[in-house]
Structure formats: structure tokens, C-alpha cells
Amino acid sequence: MAKQAKTPRPRAETPKGFRDYFGSEVTTRAEMLRAIAGVYHRYGFDALESSAVETVEALGKFLPDVDRPNEGVFAWQDEDEKWLALRYDLTAPLARVYAQHRNDLPTPYRRYAMGPVWRNEKPGPGRFRQFYQCDADTVGTASMAADAEICAMLADCLEEVGIERGDYVVRVNNRKVLNGVLDATGVTDPEQQAAVLRTIDKFDKVGEDGVRELLGKGRLDASGAYIDGVGLSDEQAAPVLAFLTSKGDDASATIANLCAAVGPSEMGREGVAELEEIAALLGAQGYGPDRIVIDPSVVRGLGYYTGPVFEAELTFEITDEKGRPRQFGSVAGGGRYDDLVARFTGQQVPAVGVSIGVDRLLAALHAKGRAGREAQGPVVVTVMDRARMADYQAMVGELRQAGIRAEVYLGNPKNFGNQMKYADRRGSPVAVIAGEDEFARGVVQLKDLILGAKIAENASLEEWKERPSQIEVPRGQLVEKMREILGGQA
């Protein structure tokens, strides 16, 4: 009889496009989400936790992948042969929830949601298939006050998590203004209009002259290759260029320039009026151009949004992988989308929202040195006598009851040096030491590991004597003295 082949062991590896997060990373992200949730709650938004799985039908047109069209989600068929998928954002589930429960929800409905989303796209550097989003939306009102509120709330969130004023700006534009500009060009062919939009999106990269060339006959790119243009005449291109260069010294100047760019277009003038109203509402609340500005260069996502759009950009410089300085860039975006709920109800429901890229924002805080500091580990109660485990557990129990993070060493207690190495690896601030002699005298030793490390690295022998890193205290004062040491470290 042939010998049965052994089943090969699975490889211990993270699936492509995914990653694992450990202690301090998870803690830092949780603290950020807690801070943002506090701002959302202060603005009157309610939490919503919807299912991570939706029907593909409910998700609608999911994000396309250039290399694999129509495979933008992780989907499967259930036992009823119905297609299900992991959510790719937090907005599509909101549309389904609102359509399903609208009779039981207040109007307008303010909600915030936080959690992972999944996109079945080709991964790359810094681009994962699972990542966190942090959204807030108002559904059921067309008032520009809702849009202004979202912008103000976004600015407050950035400052709450540690982005200082002056290091960010929330930029606001309006899809209707761009539609008015397209009207002013006289371009009616949908493909040519799409080409104009793609060209506008390149303004930050190629500048005014580059856009002028691309709107016309074309231009040579940096590699020397010739890029065909849209084919507009100078007269047709003029409103687009006027739109892209309309940002003035203040909101009123920008508004005036936009009015000129859209010309007689009714939709364009409606969009300009909405921007003017948003600027006035923000100004009344004290949000000046140092925090929020009207900026026509915001064009991303305009195919999805139906009115105002906004983007939070971090303006401080970082160094890229080649050592070159560059601005950090966008960490959040949003806008008004009045057509999404209509997929379910057949009736247009106005809505506006924002999505904060949690991983991007965490990376920004790391770059500014305001996140990612090593998380403090628990106090470690060492074990000198295994027979005394109940006494050690009593110590750790008292510390935990006092709100102090603590654990008993559960490895082999024979080698005390290994216990101290363990405490060091855990990032422990203090080690509790008690052997036969300490138990007999009713005392414990408290070793300040933070102070000990600093003294060992920088101090002379005399300083060791003046600032002992290990003290003996009565057993009954364990919690009190532990609080003193931890307070001194903080």
C-alpha cells in the first residue's frame, strides 16, 4: 500500500494587499477614532454601525479596477445564489440603511460611521485592500448649512487629533460651477466633456500653460512623448482657464472671478451662489481662510458629487523616499451627493458627507512626530517563588482594581534576568519584585524601569545614588507608591 503523502504545512504569510497591526499601532488608531468620534458627537451626529457585508445590488456600481474591470469588490454567492460583497466604502451602506429605515429616522439624519472597508484592487506601496474610513453624513436636507457644518467639523477634527492650524486647509469647490464652465465652452459631446474634466484634473501637475496646450492640440510630456489634446479652440478653452485661475485673495474675489468664468450658465451661477452662502456661514462661525477656503482647483470626485465638494489638505512638508521635500497632501474629502438614495427609493434625497482616511491621517501624524511613540506596557509583577503565585496574583489584582495596567510574569521563573528582559520587551514602566525575604518583612521592591534606563544611559555613579531606580516600600503601600512612580514618569 502506497504511503499517504503528508499534507503540506500552510505558509505563515499575510495575504497580498493586507497587513497586520500590533499594539501601539492599534492603540494610536483607537485614540484617533475616539477623538474624531468626540467631535462628530459634539456636532450632534449619531453613531451607526452597519453590516460589513452588503448585497452587490445594494452596492451598485462599485469602484473599477483598471487592470481587472468590474472586480473592485470581494464578492461571493450565498446559498440562495445571491451575490454578496464586503463593503468598499461607508457611504453605499448608508444609502441602503436610510432607504430601508427612513420612516423610523429623523429628517435630516446625521450619522457617523467608522470601520474597515475592502477593495479588490491591485495593491501597491501604501495601498492596501483593507483600510479604515471615518465618515460623517447628513441625509435629507438641501440646505448649504449642512455643507458648511461638514467643512467646519472636518477642520475641528484635524485640530482635535493634533494637526495644528496653519498645517492644513479645507478647500471647497462646486460641481455645478464646473458644469457651468462646460456650458460656457459650448462642448456638448459627452466624450469630449469627459476629456475636458480629465484635463482639468491635471492642473496641479502641468499648470496653466500645460492645461491650455492639452485643451488645444496637445503637448510634449516630460518624457518627450506627445499627448494629444482635446481639440478646443482658444475661445472654447478660455472659460476653463478662467475657472482654474479664479482663486482670488479672499472669498469675495474668488466668487466674482467664478461668476465671470461661468458666464450666463444658470447652473454655474447656482453653484457660485452656493459657494458664496457656504463662505458666509463659515465666516459667521469664525472659520476664516486660514482654515477653509473657496478653491476652484478641487476637482477630484466631481463625477460622483452633485454640488459642493471639499478636500482637506495638509500643507506641511515631508521628505519622500528619495529625500526630496514635498507637501503631504490630502487626508479627507467629501461633498454633496443627491442621487445615491434614489437608487432605492426612486426619489432624490439630498445628502452631504465627508470621509477621513484614517491611515493617511495617522501617517501624517507620524511625519509630524505626533504619533507612533512607543506605547507604555503593563507593570510586571515578577515571580521569585512559584509557590507564592497566589500572593503575586493578589498584588496584580490590587493594581488592576486601582486602574493600573499590570500582569504577573507567567514564564519560567527560574531565571530572573529573563523576567527583566521580558519586562523590557513589553515596555513595562515598573517591575514589582518580592522574594522570600520581602514576604517575611512585609515589603516589596519597586524597580522604576524608565528611570533606570535613563540613568544607565546618561548618568554618573553619583546620580545613581541620588536618584535610586529601585525602592523598597511596605506591602500595604504598593498601589500608593506605584501611582507616585507612574505619575513621575508621566
pTM surpassing 0.85?
no
CATH of the domain at 391: 3.40.50.800
Chain-centroid distance of CA 365 in Å reads 11
Per-residue pLDDT tens digits for 251-305 = 899 999 999 989 889 999 999 999 999 999 999 999 999 999 999 888 766 567 8
Pick the range with the lowest mean pLDDT from 58-62, 119-123, 376-380, 480-484: 58-62
Across the chain, mean pLDDT equals 88
Single out the residue of 161, 174, 178 nearest to residue 360, CA to CA.
161
- The DSSP line for 292-355 is EEE-TT--TTTTT-SSEEEEEEEEEEEE-TTS-EEEEEEEEEEEE--SSTHHHHSS---EEEEE
The residue-averaged pLDDT of 414-429 equals 93
Q: Which domain holds residue 50?
A: 17-142+338-375
**Which one is predicted more confidently, 61 or 347?**
347
Same domain, 479 and 366: no
Bridge partners of 118, per DSSP, are 130
Residue 123: inside a domain, yes or no?
A: yes
Residue 35 shares a structural domain with residue 65: yes
With a cut of 80, say whether residue 424 has pLDDT above it: yes
**Each residue of 51-89: pLDDT tens digit?**
999 998 888 866 555 555 557 889 888 888 888 999 999
Look at residues 375, 399, 429 and tell me which one is the last residue of a structural domain.
375
Co-location of 359 and 415 in the same domain: no
**What residues contact residue 170 under an 8 Å CB cut-off, 6+ apart?**
151, 154, 155, 291, 292, 293, 310, 311, 312, 313
Tell me what pLDDT residue 63 has. 59
Q: What is the grid cell recorded at 334?
A: 467629501
Q: What is the 8-class DSSP label of residue 127?
A: B
User: What is the band of 138 on the pLDDT scale with cuts at 50, 70, 90?
Assistant: very high
93 vs 207, more confident? 93
Looking at the structure, tell me whether residues 368 and 388 fall in a common domain.
no
Residue 180 has pLDDT above 80, yes or no: yes
d(CA 437, CA 435): 6
Mean per-residue pLDDT, 448-453: 85
**Residue 3, pLDDT above cutoff 80:** no
The CA-atom distances, in angstroms, between 47 and each of 28, 40, 41, 359, 415 are: 21, 9, 8, 20, 50
Per DSSP (E only), the strands in 140-288 are: 168-174, 218-220, 226-228
* pLDDT score at 78: 87
Residue 393 DSSP symbol: H
Find out whether 361 and 39 touch, Cβ atoms under 8 Å.
Answer: no
Which range has highest mean pLDDT (183-192, 227-236, 390-399)? 390-399
Q: Out of 99-103, 189-193, 344-348, 391-395, pick the least confident.
A: 189-193
Burial class (CB in 10 A: 0-12, 13-18, 19+), 207: exposed
421 lies in the same domain as 409: yes
Higher pLDDT, residue 48 or 303: 48
Q: Which residues pair with residue 351 across a beta bridge?
A: 139
Q: Please report the pLDDT score of residue 23 as a whole number.
A: 85
Q: How many domains does the chain have?
A: 2
Q: What is the pLDDT of residue 68?
A: 55
Residues 6+ apart with CB under 8 A from 119: 63, 72, 73, 88, 129
Nearest to 355 by CA among 125, 75, 96, 36: 36
Q: What is the mean pLDDT of residues 165-170?
A: 94
Which pLDDT belongs to residue 332? 94
Residue 344 sits in the same domain as residue 411: no
- Does residue 127 share a domain with residue 63? yes
Residues forming a β-bridge with 54: 85
pLDDT at residue 124, as a whole number: 77
**12 falls in which pLDDT band (50, 70, 90)?**
very high
DSSP codes of every residue in 402-454? TT--EEE--S-TT-HHHHHHHHHHTT-SEEEE--HHHHHHTEEEEEEHHHHHH
Residue owning grid cell 456636532: 43
Tens digits of residue pLDDT in 198-248: 888 888 788 888 889 899 888 887 777 888 888 888 898 898 899 888 988
Task: For cell 516589596, name the residue.
Answer: 444
Is 394 in the same domain as 481? yes
Read off the amino acid at residue 469: S
